Amino acid sequence: MSEATSTDLYEVTMALSYLREGMTQPATFSCFVRTLPPERGFLIAAGAETVLDFLAGFHLGHEEVEVFAEALRRPARELAPLLGMRFTGEVRAVPEGRVVLAGEPLLEITAPLPQAQLVETFVLNSLSHQTTIASKCARCVIAAQGRDLVDFSPRRTHGMAAARQVARLSAMTGFVGTSNIAAVHAEDLTGVATMAHSYVEAFEDEEAAFTAFALCHPGPVTLLVDTYDTESGVAAAARVLNALGRGDGSAIRLDSGDLARLARRARAILDTAGLPQVRIVASGGLDEYAVHDLRRAGAPIDVYAVGTRVGVSADAPSLDSAYKLVAYDGRPVMKLSAAKTSTPGRKQVFRRPGCHDVIALADEPPPVGSAPLLQTLMRDGQRSTARGRLADARRRAVADLAELPATARHIRAPHAARAQLSGRLATLTERVRRRIEREVLAPFSTRA
């Protein structure tokens, strides 16, 4: 069975009604984030590659239609109009790794209305989750100020599929490695490994545990030193590394306690033991806030291993994202609901230096000194460009983050950068609003 059944039931009920009414003209849906979460000054676009894979393979065969029929408690024959449907539309999206702001389309789909409706759930889920995580990871990179970051999240993410996405997105934003073997294999990432407290507890003492671990694994090792007493653990690790001549490239890991104080004591013990090259890894409930505070405190930590709080974006686990119809059969449309108003028409986002963005209509000429963000990545249901490379997305993220105003990059109390509407888009929005008020709301008000 394909992933086409990964949708909400109301998408199916709407698509069936559209087909019954013969409403199969091109429709454009725009996916955007209405407002940024608190403590966010920007977002990093992610998830478009997953969406493109899904759309290229989208197909409703007998098995998928039977699943829909079972959910609706209707005979499968009544859903026959859906049979054989494939995605045949166009996708314009912001390439992964680029900075995006509130209100800016992450992606726009133009396809026959039933198709564009049916894929909403998967598209919105993919873009929302991956943009959330990529943005969290990018903030960690900013907080680390050049220190290495590694992903330790798979044990507590919301499922193993999410864990693999976290590993990929962390690499996309600048992490140097991950503990997730599946992601290492699938995405050609760098694997990182250490040990658990249970390993140390299984031996008579720490020195025996560290010796056995180092003898089993040639090359650099990372020894977990805080199972009992951190300072004596560091001293034991130093003795083992010196005895075996394994200091080069090796590290000790601190996983609890006052990490700034313990890192200073660990650095002093290692340096006194003649091991200035041994690095200090910190872990244990870290995110960009903790990393930021440790860097400000001058803690001599070389590598930050982040897990749970980053893998689930604990402080901002969701986005106020939407997938809204903005045009159907050549007619611009919009939503007027309080606090959820949308703007009509196919869009383009033009980026000027400093991320002074303009949200415009798709056919507008670019403002002087600007470049378009949305690119056509799919035509007629097939990719129109090569699959995006992780290295390219990483370069885009580095470049865009450098362009952001410094206040938008603040870890605490950032000032979110804001896009403005073009004059043509503002005019169209007002015109469509007046038409709705005149043709839809006024007659209802008269009847009331």
**pTM for this entry:** 0.95
Domain count, the chain: 2
Rounded CA separation 182/189 (Å) = 10
Query: What pLDDT shows up at residue 243?
Result: 97
pLDDT digits (tens, 9 = 90+) for 144-183: 999 999 999 999 999 999 999 999 999 999 999 999 999 9
Contact by Cβ (8 Å): 23, 333:
no
Query: What pLDDT shows up at residue 437?
Result: 87
Contact by Cβ (8 Å): 156, 144:
no
Rounded CA separation 302/284 (Å) = 15
Give every residue of the chain whose pLDDT is below 50, as ranges: none
Rounded CA separation 11/33 (Å) = 20
Contact by Cβ (8 Å): 397, 138:
yes
Which domain-ending residue is among 275, 294, 311?
311
Query: What pLDDT shows up at residue 446?
Result: 56
Query: What pLDDT shows up at residue 444?
Result: 61
pLDDT digits (tens, 9 = 90+) for 80-90: 999 999 999 99
Contact by Cβ (8 Å): 141, 108:
no
Q: Are residues 118 and 167 in the same domain?
A: no
Domain that holds residue 20: 3-133+318-447
Q: Are residues 44 and 114 in the same domain?
A: yes
- Can you give the CATH number for the domain in which 119 is found? 3.20.140.10
Query: What pLDDT shows up at residue 445?
Result: 60
Which domain-ending residue is among 311, 335, 358?
311
Residue with tokens 């290229």: 56
Q: Are residues 197 and 119 in the same domain?
A: no
DSSP 325-368: EEEETTEE-----TT-----S-EEEEE-TTT--EEEETTSPPPT
Q: Are residues 180 and 239 in the same domain?
A: yes
Dihedral angle over CA of 336, 340, 345, 351, nearest 10? 140
Query: What pLDDT shows up at residue 356?
Result: 94
Rounded CA separation 20/42 (Å) = 42
Which domain-ending residue is among 247, 281, 311?
311
Let me know the angle formed at the C-alpha of 313 by 182 and 393, rounded to the nearest 5 degrees. 60
Query: What pLDDT shows up at residue 178?
Result: 98
